[in-house]
């Protein structure tokens, strides 16, 4: 049994519950004592000698579920401490020296701009409004630096492929990567959302204006009506024909309208494109460079990108596809952790798209990294809670939404809502399906059984139960 200080998930498949529990057990080894300006204690892979902005930001999306046992905010504060006068926060820092680690192919140290999205999620999961006011100056300077460094007269962002985290060889001619531009739009959108939380209309309007301007350019220049997909552009703003998973950042940034989104999402269902048995590979299965072994960015399934796609599907209300993809991906992860009854395996940075096992990249013996939780815990913890169990939590609103395609025996126990611990469990008895709830304080619970029932109820302190048939 997992230590009771963490939330306990309940599901009909005990193997997936064990996978969730095992992840929390592994996280205990991922904490480093800080020096050279780092936080006193921060999350990083035990064998890593570089601190990654991308990995640090992603780690907050599962650490927020640790019931404050493992604080999420130091991962971001580490990066803010390193911000330069011009606003730069680099992609990597040397852990021992504390200095930026820059490479010839990415001399500015650009990384996917996730800071505003990350802080918005932290606010809803931790509920500290004061923090938004404290971090906004860092986010504003970072936004300004990105514009000065990457944005040109076209209104689009130029960035090296290494800054997209999907540097497949088929993209070598890409000058305006679709994923980096979608991420820049995502950053602007959440800057506006944070402005709204601060009740700063001027701030919100400023970033909303930037968002819509970039959204228009992406839709006008990167969308191909004939194929129904978003593509990278070369230096002359001509579309490049390869299809990469990076195009699906546009869903998370809410760039396509409903019609375009449906066409784009159809690629996620197609096994000849991105709908492989283990969803979703970095490039289309129809690409000549696609490898069933993964071959690094040429077809591997990275849990962080599968997480990204699933979060985008949610925004367009494709909850059933999102849940199905989460289940499929988790079973592939499970196969490597428990390959048979006698052998204990590992979790990995990346997986094969069409068969079991970690991805293989010939000539790169360090790939994939073993027990690489900055990526895989997004699936084994965050997707488990948010998409398999189906919970969406906002502490400031005192709300828990439970979106489920069908009633099953499942739920969560001992989940912290700041200074309130809650339990939500389903059970079937002779009166039908019942939801049992326990809480220390009042909160608002919405149950949404897709296509059947939706109801919001105030849940008082103490124990209570709801009969689904009576809603």
Q: Convert the pLDDT of each residue in 226-257 to its tens digit.
A: 999 999 999 999 999 999 999 999 999 999 99
Both 334 and 448 in a single domain? no
Both 448 and 305 in a single domain? no
> pLDDT band at 1, cuts 50/70/90?
very low
d(CA 426, CA 230): 41
Both 133 and 193 in a single domain? yes
How many structural domains comprise the chain? 2
Q: How many CB atoms lie within 10 A of CB 105?
A: 10
Both 139 and 205 in a single domain? yes
Both 193 and 340 in a single domain? yes
Residue 289 lies in a domain: yes
Both 185 and 308 in a single domain? yes
Range of the domain at 165: 112-389
> pLDDT band at 428, cuts 50/70/90?
confident
> pLDDT band at 355, cuts 50/70/90?
very high
Q: Please state at what angle helix 73-81 crosses helix 115-126, rounded to 10 degrees.
A: 140
Q: Is the pLDDT of residue 450 over 80?
A: no
Q: Which residue has the tokens 């923090």?
A: 131
Final residue belonging to a domain, choices 356, 389, 422: 389
In the chain the first and final C-alpha atoms are separated, in Å, by 34
Residue 293 lies in a domain: yes
Q: Which residue has the higher pLDDT, 255 or 127?
A: 255
> pLDDT band at 2, cuts 50/70/90?
very low
176 strand-pairing partners: 233
Q: Which residue has the tokens 């699906």?
A: 248
Both 175 and 265 in a single domain? yes
Residue 254 lies in a domain: yes
Both 315 and 267 in a single domain? yes
pLDDT recorded at residue 433 = 87
Residue 467 in tokens = 């009969």
88 and 410 in contact (C-beta within 8 Å)? no
Both 226 and 323 in a single domain? yes
Final residue belonging to a domain, choices 338, 359, 389: 389
Residue 395 lies in a domain: no
Average pLDDT over residues 350-355: 97
The pTM assigned to this predicted structure is 0.95
Q: Look up the CATH number of the domain holding residue 340.
A: 1.50.10.10
Both 373 and 421 in a single domain? no
Report cis status (omega within 30 of 0) of the bond before 315: no
By three-state DSSP, how is residue 50 classified? Answer: strand
Final residue belonging to a domain, choices 337, 354, 389: 389
Counting Cα atoms < 13 Å in the Cβ hemisphere of 205 gives 3
Q: Is the pLDDT of residue 77 over 70?
A: yes
Both 315 and 449 in a single domain? no
Both 237 and 303 in a single domain? yes
């Amino acid at each position: 049994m997992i230590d009771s200080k963490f939330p306990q998930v309940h599901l009909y498949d005990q193997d997936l519950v064990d996978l969730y529990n095992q992840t929390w057990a592994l996280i205990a080894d991922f904490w480093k004592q800080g020096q050279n300006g780092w936080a006193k204690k921060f999350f990083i892979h035990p064998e890593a000698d570089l601190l990654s902005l991308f990995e640090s930001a992603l780690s907050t999306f599962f650490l927020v579920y640790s019931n404050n046992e493992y604080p999420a905010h130091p991962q971001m504060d580490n990066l803010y401490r390193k911000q330069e006068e011009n606003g730069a926060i680099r992609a990597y820092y040397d852990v021992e020296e504390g200095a930026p680690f820059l490479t010839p192919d990415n001399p500015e140290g650009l990384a996917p701009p996730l800071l505003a999205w990350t802080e918005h999620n932290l606010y809803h999961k931790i509920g500290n409004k004061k923090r938004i006011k404290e971090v906004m100056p860092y986010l504003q300077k970072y936004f300004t630096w990105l514009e000065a460094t990457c944005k040109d007269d076209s209104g689009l962002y130029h960035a090296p492929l290494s800054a997209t985290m999907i540097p497949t060889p088929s993209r070598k001619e890409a000058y305006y990567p679709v994923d980096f531009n979608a991420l820049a739009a995502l950053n602007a959108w959440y800057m506006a959302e944070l402005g709204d939380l601060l009740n700063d209309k001027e701030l919100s309007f400023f970033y909303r204006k930037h968002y819509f301007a970039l959204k228009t350019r992406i839709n006008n220049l990167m969308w191909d009506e004939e194929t129904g997909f978003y593509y990278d552009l070369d230096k002359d703003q001509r579309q490049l024909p390869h299809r990469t998973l990076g195009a699906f950042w546009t869903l998370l940034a809410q760039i396509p309208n409903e019609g375009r989104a449906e066409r784009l999402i159809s690629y996620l269902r197609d096994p000849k494109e991105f709908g492989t048995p283990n969803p979703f590979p970095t490039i289309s299965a129809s690409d000549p460079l696609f490898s069933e072994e993964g071959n690094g960015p040429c077809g591997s399934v990275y849990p962080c990108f599968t997480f990204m796609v699933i979060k985008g599907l949610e925004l367009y209300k494709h909850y059933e596809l999102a849940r199905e993809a989460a289940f499929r991906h988790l079973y592939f992860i499970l196969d490597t952790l428990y390959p048979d009854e006698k052998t204990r395996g590992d979790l990995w940075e990346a997986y094969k798209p069409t068969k079991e096992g970690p991805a293989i990249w010939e000539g790169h013996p360090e790939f994939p990294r073993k027990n690489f939780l900055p990526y895989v815990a997004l699936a084994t913890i965050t997707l488990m809670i948010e998409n398999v169990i189906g919970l969406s939590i906002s502490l400031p609103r005192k709300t828990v939404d439970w979106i489920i395609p069908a009633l099953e025996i499942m739920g969560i126990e001992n989940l912290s809502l700041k200074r309130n611990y809650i339990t939500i469990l389903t059970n079937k008895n002779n009166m039908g399906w019942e939801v049992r709830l326990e809480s220390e304080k009042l909160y608002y619970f919405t149950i949404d059984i897709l296509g059947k029932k939706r109801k919001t109820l105030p849940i008082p302190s103490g124990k209570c139960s709801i009969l689904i048939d009576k809603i």
